[in-house]
Amino acid sequence: MKILAAQPIRRQVLVSACLLLLPIVIGAAWSANRTRLERRAEVQAEAASITATSVAYFDRYLHGLDSMASVLVRHPAVIALNREECNRLFAGVLRDQPLVLNVVLRAPDGTLQGSGLQARDVVSQSVTVPYVQQVVASGQPVVSDLIIGPVSHKPTVVLAYPVRAAGGSIVGVLDFGIDLSQLQTLFGSLPLAEGSVITLTDRRGLVLARSREADRFIGTTMAAAAPTEPGATPRASAGKDIDGVDRLFASAVVGRGAWVMTVGIPRSVVEARLWPLWQRDLAISAIAVLVPLFFWLWMGGRLSRQLNHLRGAAQRIAQGDLSPPARVAEVLNRELGDLQDAFVSMAQNLAHTREALDRQVEQERKMRETLESLQRQVVRQERLAAVGVLVSGVAHELNNPLQAILGASELLERRRDLSSEALLDIAFVKTQSARAREIIRNLARFSSQQAGPPTSVDLRDVIAEVVQLRRANLAAADIVLDVQASSTRNVYANFTELEQVVLNFVINAQQAIQAAGSPQGRMVIRLSDVGQRVRLEVVDNGPGVSPANEPKLFQPFFTTKPVGEGTGLGLSVSYGIVESYGGAIGYHGNESGGATFFFELPATDSQRQTAPQVRTAVTAR
């Protein structure tokens, strides 16, 4: 299993399928071999059975010949060695016995005394015939070796019998020559498998008859199986036949003739009979192996595809894409379905968690920026406070000499001895000193640290102060300022704070006009009554505010100005001031395309006599 651990699923399936299928393959091979051995044994049994049957029939036939011979040897014509009579008699026998080549009668000295076949060229004189001598010597029937028939001139083996006279002496030898070629025809007619052969040999292995290619092999020696006893079960063997063909043999002894009959069936018959069985076995094994293999591979492929899908989704998640993976419609099994569901919900949870984290990080970033801005603001405020202290000190110090200059100028004015030119100069010194005193007073008031308690304020005074402060600057920027004050009602607030709000409106308007590069810069400060409120508007013909920026105008630190120019605090501080006095502050575009910033405060005659709200430095919206 360790081998499989690091492999892809398809290979795992393949390897485990091979491991599981190995026993099937081994079993199929074992079965094929068993079948081969069984078929071989079957063919050998078939050969043995044919051998046993053939031997039994042949043996019986030879015994039949023995019986016939025992009748013939008692025939008077035979005992009398009457040639004419014998020839006729034997010819009749030959007609009835197709397997007998010839019936011959010889005198004990070997001379031919009668023949079933017509004996033309046979010399009627004494010849040495070995089997005749054996019969005469033993007085018993004898079976000859393979000889060439003296009359038929064909190869034959002879069954020889003694012919006795009435006294028992041997007067002749009767022999039956077996027609080997007929025997071969008989063998050939037996229903044997293609290529099979029946061979008859004598005990020395000399071929007497053969069902195939007899002419070629009769008289040659065949390495026959070791002879068995007559009537014993045929002996099986295998090997090359004399014609070179591989055969399975069964041999048995023909008892009467003392010959060996061998039936040989070619080995190829075994293979030919095996082949259909092997084909069937092969087909079954192939189906048994391939069907599960393909099924497992198919399952493995689907499983692998679905796991790859999940792996791809996991990799996407690892790379930061938390979108939930697409669901596979047809999952392989319930476990994979559950895994997919768990995976999808895990991805969704991760996405939600990351969104929450992103939100938190964003909030923390904004808080950090706010904190840093507030820190900068505090530093700036402290610096402004220091400047304020300095300015009020300088103003106080300058005020005394200016008072002295003014006092001295007035005293000089009263002198009678001065020329009109000198009086004019003194008047100029007086007005300029008065102007300087006024500027110093404003500076001292504006830089004051404490806004001081609210009082009833005339907004026209506030406007005058602001105009006084910005007049020269606006003129330098070629901006025409128009003041339209139709309200005479007071509001309840701190003068300096309202001055800060209006000054901020005016500076913003001037910067917007200048940034847009408008040739005809125009600004109107309008004061009017709106019901129980007094409304102050600063109208300009600058570029106005884009709709996208409108909602952010009064947020702290919102600015569109370059770094160093804008802090984004002016409007938010103004918002806080106006709100703290129960007023409203706002913006709208105007017909010239520019901006109108305004605030409204309750008029003092309509104001509730309640204490003003506590104001915070920055009021977030």
- Contact residues for ligand ADP, defined by CB under 6 A: 504, 508-509, 512, 540, 542, 544-545, 553, 558-561, 566-572, 595
CB of 431 to ligand ADP, least distance (A): 34
Nearer to ligand ADP (CB atom), residue 61 or residue 558: 558
Nearer to ligand ADP (CB atom), residue 180 or residue 513: 513
CB of 562 to ligand ADP, least distance (A): 10
Nearer to ligand ADP (CB atom), residue 437 or residue 615: 615
Give buried/exposed letters for 362-384 (b at 16+ CB in 10 A, else e): eeeeeeeeeeebeeebeeeeeee
CB of 499 to ligand ADP, least distance (A): 15
CB of 383 to ligand ADP, least distance (A): 16
Q: Collapsing DSSP states into helix, strand and coil, what is residue 110?
A: coil
How many Å apart are CA 331 and CA 343, to the nearest integer? Answer: 14
Per the DSSP assignment, residues forming a β-bridge with 252 are 261
Nearer to ligand ADP (CB atom), residue 53 or residue 559: 559
Nearer to ligand ADP (CB atom), residue 44 or residue 508: 508
CB of 543 to ligand ADP, least distance (A): 6
Nearer to ligand ADP (CB atom), residue 90 or residue 575: 575
CB of 544 to ligand ADP, least distance (A): 6
Contact (Cβ atoms closer than 8 angstroms) between residue 177 and residue 157: yes
CB of 608 to ligand ADP, least distance (A): 30
How many Å apart are CA 459 and CA 465, to the nearest integer? Answer: 10
Residue 466 one-letter amino acid: V
How many Å apart are CA 205 and CA 218, to the nearest integer? Answer: 11
How many Å apart are CA 147 and CA 106, to the nearest integer? Answer: 16
Nearer to ligand ADP (CB atom), residue 65 or residue 553: 553
CB of 586 to ligand ADP, least distance (A): 12
Q: Collapsing DSSP states into helix, strand and coil, what is residue 359?
A: helix
CB of 471 to ligand ADP, least distance (A): 18
Structure-token match 């043996």, residue found: 59
Residues 6+ apart with CB under 8 A from 605: 489
Long-range pairs for 609-614: beta carbons < 8 A, 24 or more residues apart: 612/454, 612/492, 612/493, 612/580, 612/581, 612/582, 613/579, 613/580, 613/581, 613/582, 614/580
How many Å apart are CA 502 and CA 550, to the nearest integer? Answer: 19
Three-state DSSP string of 543-609: CCCCCCCHHHCCCCCCCCCCECCECCCHHHHHHHHHHHCCCEEEEEECCCCCEEEEEEEEECCCCCC
CB of 558 to ligand ADP, least distance (A): 6
Nearer to ligand ADP (CB atom), residue 500 or residue 607: 500
CA atoms within 13 A on the CB side of 49: 9
Nearer to ligand ADP (CB atom), residue 104 or residue 509: 509
Nearer to ligand ADP (CB atom), residue 263 or residue 512: 512
Contact (Cβ atoms closer than 8 angstroms) between residue 19 and residue 313: no
Q: Which residue is nearest to ligand ADP (CB)?
A: 570
Residues 6+ apart with CB under 8 A from 353: none
DSSP state of 519: S
